[in-house]
Structure 1
Amino acid sequence: MLKGIANAFRVPELRQKLLLTAAILLLYRFGAYLPVPGAPFQDLLGAYQSGLSESGAMAVLNLFSGGALSRMSVFSLGIMPYITAQIIFQLLQAVIPSLGELAREGEAGQRRITQYTRYLTIGLALLNAVGYLFLFRSYGVSLADTGAPEILLDIMVVFTMVVGAMVIMWLGEIITQNGVGNGMSLIIFANIMSGLPTSLISSVTGTGNIVLTVVTLVIIVAIIPIIVFVERGQRRIPIQYAKRVVGRRMMGGQATYLPIKVNTAGVVPIIFASAILYLPAQLAVFFPTVEWVQAFANALSSGWINWVLSVVLIVAFAYFYSSMVFNPTETADQLRKQGGFIPGVRPGAATAAYIKSTIDHVTLPGALFMAVLAVVPTIIFWFTGNSLIQAFGGTSVLIMVGVAMDTLSSIESQLKMHNYDGFFK
């Protein structure tokens, strides 16, 4: 590992990307502590301690904002408006033929979809910002008296939050295009990691049991190798290439394999499922005094309804996203054009059906593994009240490990291009 890190900094281009990524993440964390104009810190602290933090819906929102929401910072909206917009457009691509065709047009089509996603992000961010303003007001939080009309202060706060959400989206895209790894995933990674010290302190002070906290940490660390094992697991479909004569030479005939990852979709199903379950919490901020709306949002944020929906959504998104990133028909067609075939399977439609069946069989255990990791820690928290297992349970650990592995794989691929040893053997 240390050798791989040292090699990464020996490559000038990769070193520049790593430093850019680190600088952007530091800038993002700075923005998470920068309050919006007129934000009253003491009122916010009192509101959060008096019940805002106990809301299951708010706990989800605050986790994905890296604590920025509880501070009413410039980045209070976090990354979720953009992720929600992405989910909406990915689902629309499956049901609206014109959007599906646009997605298949290559780079030009993807640019247009990205632009539409940005527009939708602005709309969602605007709704969220207005909702949060009403939410904080319901907890007795009022903006500082600056002598300006209240409506102007409200507009300024909403505008600042929306701009903050767009800046987060921009920072994530810069990391994806010019840095290392996926920018949005790394921002979520940074948000989760930033809550570790607070969760440790809350776990000790809340339960008064240091032993329980240590045992929880040991369990979390023990889960990491299992996640790595599953993330790197793959089913290898044997591929044979037919021999052919090129000039006077015999070409082809070699055997290889087509790797199918157990968890093809990576951490995307977890993130998307969390975003879907987070939508009722978004809607609840517009009706802070309506009890049944708050009860509905909290029911979807914790309890058995949340557990069942989490499993269903994670499995569904695992299959949905796997079908998007791995097209059996295109793979079978490419194999046929290259003279490759699966032994015992006819080329063409039969090969595509075989690959699809293999993906479906491999995806199920991977999806169930993710679902168990996401739900079991929540159930444990429900009965024990250990805040550490809630903040750093299976979902958080899976996201952190998955993002870390994806980022390391990205670095490793660039190291191998420069003939350096990477992280994985």
Structure 2
Amino acid sequence: MFATLKNAWHIADIRKKLLYTLMILVLFRLGAAVPVPFLDTTVLQGLISQGGNLLGYLDILSGGSFSQATVFALSITPYITSSIVIQLLTVAIPALERLAKEGEEGRKKINKITRYTTVGLALVQAFAYYTMLKNQHAVSYTSGWEGVFAAFIIVLTFTAGAMLIVYLGERIDEKGIGNGISMILFAGIVSRGPAAIRKLWTYIQLANAGETLYYFTVPLVVVLFVALIVVIIIMTNAERRIPVQYAKKVVGRKMYGGQSTFIPIKVNMSGVLPIIFASSLLAIPGTIKAFVDPQATGTLGKILGAFDYNRPLYAILYFILILAFNYFYVAIQYNPIEMANNLRNNSGTIPGIRPGRPTSDFISRIISKITLLGGIFLALVAVLPIGVGAITKMNIALGGTSIIIVVGVALDTFRQLESQMMMRHYKGFLE
């Protein structure tokens, strides 16, 4: 990894891209320190510390910006949500499906639709959070023209910050290295690292003060953190290769085909999307609880309290929902019948499997097994921090989703660096 960075730094145009990407990330972190007026951050931090609601999840993705009520508080969640919605609608709506198959022009139109959807979602999300914060008495002015002006400024600032993040991500795509939105998400999550280290140091001080249990739990958390990164790297790169043999055919005086290749099917085909779907769905009860603030002893309070982050029911439902969303996402992304037809149309066969229906059934069985394995992997990574926190009584920012995102973005960025260096050292056929 360090050798790749060192070699890339010696290439002038790649060095410019790296510096440009770094500049954009610095601007993002500076914007994450500019506060939104008329908001009381102490109330926000109290709501987030309760856990189990959508605000804590948003604070993780924003790198702590939401708890500090800054301009980039919404982070890229409106863009992520709109991208997922448009991607799902592309499968359901024929017009969008045709756009997706039109190549570069179709992709530009879909990106434009995604940006417009992001603006609408950002406005709705900003107004919803303003309403919640107003109900929690976190807004300085709530009545009269002062209240209208405060509401306008808060909603507009949240929305503008979300769209500015999308703009910064697009600039990285255009002139930098890596996927822009992923790099900004990466920077936000990594920025929480010092806070996690400070928490670990606090537990070490508690151990020195007489609570000797932390002498065992702190090293355990560190070892699990390192082991989790290793497992995620292995599973991210793992794939099942289905062998394919193409028949030879003669066209004129030339013979084509005859080569052997494979269809790669990754174990983690859906990335972190099932975790994002599941955590967003399970965060709804906690968010409703923050909105209405029910009594803990009342019926509604007991029902909503059962979905708290530290309750067993939350972990069980989290595990099941991740498996279900993983199967759902893979089902809309991979069509075994279409894959089998493409193989037959290109004179390709899987050794030992007849073309047509047997091929599609074979591919379907392989995808089903890989999907189950990938779903269990994602669910264990997501649920593990909950179990570790319950056993060790330690509240460390060791979210499985965060680690998967950080590792995935890092691996993808280094792959892009290596491919760009390879292109610049390739001499070609004419020399």
What interval of TM-score do these two structures reach, taking the shorter chain for normalisation? 0.7 to 0.9
Shift in Å, 1:374: 0.5
- Give the structure 2 partner of residue 92 of structure 1: 89
Q: Residue deviations 1:171-195, cap 9 Å, x none?
A: 2233344433333332222222111
In the aligned structure 1, how far is the partner of 2:15 from the partner of 2:3?
14
- Give the structure 1 partner of residue 228 of structure 2: 223
In the aligned structure 2, how far is the partner of 1:127 from the partner of 1:80?
12
Q: Residue deviations 1:248-304, cap 9 Å, x none?
A: 454432322222111122233333433343455555555456874896388264423
- Give the structure 1 partner of residue 80 of structure 2: 83
In the aligned structure 2, how far is the partner of 1:191 from the partner of 1:94?
31
In the aligned structure 2, how far is the partner of 1:164 from the partner of 1:361?
42
**Maintained 8 Å contact 2:267/2:374:** yes
TM-score, length-scaled by structure 2: 0.84
Deviates more, 1:77-86 or 1:110-119: 110-119
- Give the structure 2 partner of residue 254 of structure 1: 259
* Structure 2 gap segments, 5+ residues each: 208-213, 427-431
Shift in Å, 1:324: 4.5
The partner residue of 1:303 within 289, 299, 311 is 311
Instruction: From the superposition, tell whether residues 419 and 314 of structure 1 become closer, same or farther in structure 2 (CA, over 3 Å).
Output: farther
The partner residue of 1:54 within 47, 50, 55 is 50
SS of the counterpart of 1:239? strand
* Structure 1 gap segments, 5+ residues each: 421-425
**Maintained 8 Å contact 2:203/2:218:** no
Instruction: From the superposition, tell whether residues 300 and 324 of structure 1 become closer, same or farther in structure 2 (CA, over 3 Å).
Output: farther
The partner residue of 2:180 within 178, 183, 186 is 183
* 2:403 corresponds to 1:397: yes
TM-score, length-scaled by structure 1: 0.85
Instruction: From the superposition, tell whether residues 315 and 415 of structure 1 become closer, same or farther in structure 2 (CA, over 3 Å).
Output: farther
Cα-Cα RMSD: 3.1
- Give the structure 2 partner of residue 423 of structure 1: none
- Give the structure 1 partner of residue 35 of structure 2: 35
Work out the percentage of aligned pairs sharing the same amino acid. 41
SS of the counterpart of 1:149? helix
- Structure with the bigger RCO (C-alpha within 8 Å, sep 6+) is 1
**Maintained 8 Å contact 1:315/1:367:** yes
SS of the counterpart of 1:166? helix
Residues paired across the two proteins, number: 413
Shift in Å, 1:408: 1.9
Q: Residue deviations 1:48-99, cap 9 Å, x none?
A: 5655423431322211221111111001112212222223333334444544
- Give the structure 2 partner of residue 347 of structure 1: 355
The partner residue of 2:125 within 128, 131, 136 is 128
Shift in Å, 1:164: 0.5
In the aligned structure 2, how far is the partner of 1:249 from the partner of 1:100?
37
The partner residue of 2:412 within 406, 409, 413 is 406
**Maintained 8 Å contact 1:129/1:161:** yes
Q: What does 1:193-342 align with in structure 2 at a 5 Å threshold?
A: 193-205=190-202, 208-209=206-207, 211=215, 212-280=217-285, 286-288=291-293, 292=300, 296=304, 299=307, 301-342=309-350
- Give the structure 1 partner of residue 211 of structure 2: none
